[in-house]
Amino acid sequence: MGPGLYSDIGKKARDLLYKDYQTDQKFTLTTYTLNGAAISASGTKKNELILGELQSQLKNKNISFDVKATSDSKLHTTVTVDELATPGLRSIFNFIIPDQQLGKVELQYLHDYAGVTAAVGLTANPIVNLSGVVGTNVYSVGADVSFDTATGNFIKCNGGLSVINADLIASLTVNDKGDSINASYYHLARLSNYGKASALIQHEWRPKSFFTISGEIDSKAIEKSAKVGLALVLRP
C-alpha cells in the first residue's frame, strides 16, 4: 500500500468533519439488478426547493460506468478504466450534458512509493492539473498545481504532507499559493461509558479563519474506537 493520491491528504479528518452531515430532508432508494448494476433514486428538500437525482452504476470487468440525471436537466457521466495498459494506471473520463465545457480526462497512477494524477479539461483552452505524492503509507509529501492555457498562468499551487499510523492521521497543507494553511488531526480513542453522541463545533476566531472539532461516540460497542476530528483553516 503506497501513499495514495494528493487528494487523500487530510481526507480522513475531512470526512469525519463534513461527510454525511445532513441539514436538509433527504430520501434515497437503491436497488441492484441481476447483472450487478446499482440504481439509486434520491430526493432532497432544501428550504422550499425539491431536488431529484437518478443514478446508475455498472461495472464490466475493468470498466465502470456511472450516469446521473439531475432535476436541473443535466446528465453527468463518468467512465473509469482500471489497470489501463499497466497495473496501477487508471483513466477517468467525465462529461456533463449540456455543459460539455465542464468535461475532463484524467489519468491516475498508483505505486508503492508514489501517486500521480494528471487531468485536462475538454475545451479549446483547457486548464491542466498535475498533482503528485511521494512517500510510504506512513509518511508522504506532495504538491498540486493547475495551469490555465488561456492566460498562461498558474492558477493553483498547493503543497501538503501527511503522517498516518494505527492511532492517528495528521496532515498539513499550504493552499492558494501560500495564502491559506489547513491543518487536520484524526485520532482514535477508547471509551467505556454508555450511550452514543455526535457533535460539531466551529469557531470563526477571525474573518475566514475557522477552528472546527467534531466527534462521535458509540459506547454500546466499546470494542470500537471513538472518532475525533480537528480542523484548522487560516487565512491571513
Name every residue whose Cβ is closer than 8 Å to that of residue 20 and which is 6 or more positions away in sequence. Answer: none
88 neighbors 70 (Cβ within 8 angstroms): no
* Measured distance CA(59)–CA(136) in Å, rounded: 30
φ, ψ for residue 44, nearest 5 deg = -130, 130
Predicted local confidence at residue 83, as pLDDT: 92
Q: Residue 126's CB: how many other CB atoms inside 10 A?
A: 18
29 neighbors 40 (Cβ within 8 angstroms): yes
Mean pLDDT in runs of 10 for the chain (236 residues)?
A: 89 71 73 86 84 93 95 94 92 91 93 97 94 95 96 95 83 86 70 54 65 70 66 60
Predicted local confidence at residue 59, as pLDDT: 92
* Measured distance CA(227)–CA(20) in Å, rounded: 14
* Domains, the chain: 6-234 (2.40.160.10)
Output the pTM of the full model: 0.74
